[in-house]
Chains A and B, each alone.
Chain A
Amino acid sequence: EDQVTQSPEALRLQEGESSSLNCSYTVSGLRGLFWYRQDPGKGPEFLFTLYSAGEEKEKERLKATLTKKESFLHITAPKPEDSATYLCAVESGSARQLTFGSGTQLTVLP
Chain B
Amino acid sequence: GAGVSQTPSNKVTEKGKYVELRCDPISGHTALYWYRQSLGQGPEFLIYFQGTGAADDSGLPNDRFFAVRPEGSVSTLKIQRTERGDSAVYLCASSFALLNEQFFGPGTRLTVL
Contacts and interface: CB of A to CB of B under 8 A. Distances in A.
Interface stretch (B39-47, B62-70, B74-82): B39-47
B90 to A, nearest CB: 10
Contact of B43 (A41, A42, A49, A98): A98
A103 interface: yes
**Size bin of chain B's contact surface:** 20 to 34
A44 B104 CA distance: 6
A41 to B, nearest CB: 8
Contacts of A34: 101-102
Contacts of B103: 46
Given A97-B33, A97-B48, A97-B59, A102 B101 contact: no
22 contacts: A32-B99, A34-B101, A43-B91, A43-B105, A44-B43, A45-B104, A46-B101, A46-B102, A46-B103, A87-B43, A89-B42, A95-B56, A96-B55, A96-B56, A97-B45, A97-B48, A98-B102, A100-B43, A100-B44, A101-B42, A102-B42, A103-B41
Interface of B: 4, 31, 33, 35, 40-45, 48, 50, 55-56, 59, 91, 93, 98-99, 101-107
A86 to B, nearest CB: 11
Interface centre among B42, B50, B59, by most chain A C-beta atoms within 10 angstroms, is: B42
Interface in A27-63: 31-32, 34, 36, 41-46, 49
**Size bin of chain A's contact surface:** 20 to 34
Interface string A71-110: 0000000000000000101010001111111110000000
